[in-house]
Amino acid sequence: MKDFFLQLKDKFAKPIEDEEELEQSDHYVELGASSDKEEQSKVLVRPFILEEFEDIKEILDVLREGSTIALVNIKPLKDKDLVELKRAVSKLRKTCEAIDGDIAGFGEDYVVAVPYFARIHRNKVGSLPE
């Protein structure tokens, strides 16, 4: 048994005779993570301004992609046309439901919409904030 281990030791302990092999063994192989992969795995918080109903399309598109949290300033559309604002917010709410996301008002002039992986904290009415 001892001879067997000595033979194995001799096989694996051979000196490297070729200079090229020696140079190659000193080099490192880079296994770096792709920056594209890192960018895809990060969550993006993106502000939007809703000036007219058509602006909702871009917001819906990024929410459907699933990696963006949308902070939507609704004040310009609110000042301009309340009916269009209600239509836009309704469409945003339906899309959030479809993608299993969440939506909530944030103050009087902002709406926050998040995709499936996030939920928005809501204080219960009548309770004190912690």
Residue 29 lies in a domain: no
**Which pLDDT does position 106 carry in this prediction?**
86
The string of pLDDT tens digits covering residues 69-125 is 999 999 999 999 999 999 999 999 999 999 999 999 988 999 999 999 999 998 876
Evaluate whether 112 touches 106 at the Cβ level (below 8 Å).
yes
Is the residue at 58 inside a domain?
Answer: yes
Give the total number of structural domains in the chain. Answer: 1
In the numeric block, the tokens 């709410």 are attached to: 93
pLDDT value at position 122? 87
Does some domain include residue 126?
no
Q: Which residues pair with 104 in a beta bridge?
A: 112
CATH at residue 47: 3.30.110.150
Q: What is the pLDDT of residues 16-63, one digit of tens each?
A: 555 555 555 556 566 655 555 555 678 899 999 999 999 999 999 999
**Of 102, 101, 104, nearest to 123 (Cα)?**
104
Asked if the structure places residue 21 within a domain, the reply is no
Can you give the pLDDT at residue 42?
A: 85
- Whether 13 is covered by a domain: the verdict is no
24 part of a folded domain: no
**For residue 90, what are the domain limits?**
43-114
Work out the angle at residue 98's Cα, subtended by the Cα atoms of residues 93 and 99, and round it to the nearest 5 degrees: 100
* pTM check: above 0.75: no
